[in-house]
Amino acid sequence: MIKVMSKIQLIGSKGLLDEVIKTLHELGIVHIESMPSRISLEDTYLRREPLERGKALLKESLEKVLERLKGIYMLLPAAEAEEMAGGVAPVLLADITSHAFLNEVDRVEQEVRGLHAERAGFSEEISSIERYEKILKGIAPLVARLKGINNFETMGITIDRTKEDIIPLLEIEISRITEEKYQLFVKDIDKDIIGIVITYPKKYDARVKSLISSEAISEIKLPERYAEMSLFDALKNMVKRREDIPILIGNIDNELSKLSEKWYKTLERLTGLLRDTIDELKALAYCVHTRFTFVIVGWIPKEKFNILSSTVRDRFGDRVMVREMAIREDEIDLIPVYIKNPKLLRPFEIFLQALPPPKYSSIDPTPYLALFFPTFFGLILGDIGYGIILFFLSLYLKKRFKAKEYISNLSSIFVISSLFAVVFGVLFGEFFGDLGERLGLLHPIIFDRLKATKVFLILAIGIGLGHITLGLMLAIVNYIHRGKGKEALAKVSMLVLLLTLLIILAILAEYLPKAMITPSVLIMLIAFITLILIEGTLGPLEVLKSISNILSYARIMAIGTASVALAMVANKLGGLTGNVILGILIAGIIHVINIFLGILSPTIQSLRLHYVEFFSKFYQTGGRRYEPFRKRGGRS
């Protein structure tokens, strides 16, 4: 839910400003607001002042040091927990900006960057060797046959197989240039490349090379390290070098690990200290001053106001005053949005991170996501076996990546969704498709999804109608809460028009008695006229869009049915093999593919139905995130 926020003001003696900023930073609950450069008339004596020269220079200096430390930190491998167990002595800002410390940073930076440059060079050399080795190995037998011939030049070239017709012409020209004193050997390197080795007296070298270059043929140019070697010697050295390089890279990695053991934790602490100090210096610029006092304005969750008030009172007594201010009507859309839900619902908040935050006085959709996402997911997957596998896989990932909040929350969502899949699997009588029914263990309780597609479709469309109706009702409540009666009436008219139109369609299809047609048409006309008067021609178009949104929920049936069909195909193919082991293997492979699709497709489609169909009815973007002034430590 979106928490109620309070606008607060802190007023105190100007000499206490630095200490108050540090206190707010440690407390970490106040969203400090940057005061406008022009203050209203009643605040004539208030003014914004630039940072003092000394503090501005310190901030600039610390920012430069921070960038350098971050560069080193990012290049070091993360140290293991046991390596970081030792404590790090407290560091003062004076130490960080001292020449001795900066010289030490220079030394470490050069060493780390030098090791990385050396490692990159080795990696590039490996890639180069792999490119040449295939060609050289292809022509090595040819070169070996020519080894020991004195006063002769050996040249290796490669030709695309599509241009192999040029080889006879090339041989004619070489024969002419060398006066028939040559040997030419052809070797298939692979399906695309032909290798050719030519040997001839050295006195013809310039003319042969001129011919090769004029015909745009690729001579095998060895890397600089092997340029002075023969092709045969180059190949031997490359093979040996390829064996040596991994050892050299391993030595570099060991050196980096040793540096990490010594510096990783220290750099983490230092970057955290620098970030926090820079943040405090930046926060000073948000304040306004009189000659003797400062004023800080910000936002805080109403429930935390007493924490702020008591903390300031305990530390500063009556020298600093905290007061709650009235929120003007023109400030409502500027209030930071702080969303906090119960622990069970909190993982679903990650789905809102892809969207701009909602406006302060609007509705938090997290509870509705927590209800409908697992429901849609379960309806689409709807298989006991698949649900159980997903359940244990999600539990494993949640435990394995406990420290990674995003993965942990996503795993929690799939734990809940997998339980819905199991429940619907029981209702549909599905265990790895029809395997449970084949074994006589399960039977559909409500309906068979593959046989009762019409019933499943009606259920999906009905869910869509309920979901879209709920979205419109939330929009009505939202507008009423914001005091926008006209917009609320438009949504009411839209909802009535939508429902009466569906009722009339149901009457025409003989699902409802014909006696309802007259009152339904009258109500629909009243709603239509009201909507036209408020929204113009766009209003009825929005109703048609809502009908299209409702029909989109048919994808629940379509994708769910496809999943069942693929599971049944797996079981059928497995049974047709006549071999138990082979049958289990084939069925298992198809089931694994289906499980992967059964995780991906329901997730994508469930989110789409929320983002596109449901949220479009009531979700109002344009809010500002609540970003309390808190210590970031080693975080980016």
333-354: pLDDT as tens digits: 889 999 989 999 999 999 988 8
Q: Report the percentage of the chain scoring pLDDT > 90.
A: 27
Distance from C-alpha of 449 to C-alpha of 503, rounded to nearest angstrom: 26
Tell me what pLDDT residue 88 has: 44
* Model confidence pLDDT, tens digit, residues 441-486: 888 899 888 889 899 999 999 999 999 999 999 999 888 887 888 8
The residue type found at 94 is A
Of 27-31, 239-243, 395-399, 531-535, the one with minimum mean pLDDT is: 239-243
What is the pLDDT averaged over residues 602-615?
A: 92
- pLDDT for position 90: 53
Percent of the chain exceeding pLDDT 70 equals: 88
For the chain, the average pLDDT equals 83
What lies within 8 Å, CB to CB, of 267 at 6+ separation is 69, 72, 73, 76
Looking at the DSSP bridge assignments, the partners of residue 6 are 300
Of 137-151, 577-591, 622-636, the one with minimum mean pLDDT is: 137-151
215-241 burial, b for 16+ CB within 10 Å, e for fewer?
eebeebebeeebeeeebbebbeebeeb
Q: Measured between alpha carbons, how far is residue 627 from residues 11, 288, 496 in Å?
A: 21, 20, 40
Confidence of residue 129 (pLDDT cuts 50, 70, 90): confident
**Is it the case that residue 49 has pLDDT exceeding 80?**
no
Q: Round to whole Å and give the CA distance between 90 and 314.
A: 26
| Res. 292: pLDDT tops 50 | yes
Does residue 321 sit in helix, strand or coil? strand
- Domains of the chain plus CATH, in order, are 1-50+287-338 (3.30.70.240), 123-244 (3.30.70.2750), 342-446+557-618 (no CATH), 452-551 (no CATH)
Q: Exposure pattern of 407-435 as b/e (b: 16+ CB <10 Å)? A: ebbbbbbbbbbbbbbbbbbbbbbbbbbbb
Residues sharing a CB contact under 8 Å with residue 322, sequence separation 6 or more, in sequence order: 8, 9, 10, 308, 309, 312, 313
Distances, alpha carbon 173 to alpha carbons 179, 184, 353, in Å: 10, 12, 69
| Beta carbons of 51 and 285 less than 8 angstroms apart | yes
pLDDT grade, residue 131 (50/70/90)? low
Is pLDDT of 208 > 90?
no
Contact yes or no for 286/25 (Cβ under 8 A):
no
pLDDT digits (tens, 9 = 90+) for 65-79: 888 888 888 888 876
The whole-number pLDDT of residue 378 equals: 94
Cα(291)–Cα(287) distance, integer angstroms:
13
Whether residue 632 has pLDDT greater than 90 = no
Query: What pLDDT band is residue 622 in, cutting at 50, 70 and 90?
Result: confident
Average pLDDT over residues 207-214: 82
Q: What local confidence, expressed as pLDDT, does residue 518 receive? A: 87
Per-residue model confidence (pLDDT) at position 218: 62
* Helix/strand/coil for 516: helix
pLDDT over 70 at 404, yes or no: yes
Residue 575: count other Cβ atoms within 10 Å of its Cβ: 13
Tokens of 600: 């991906």
Helix (H, G, I), strand (E, B) or coil at 524: helix
pLDDT at 85 over 50: no
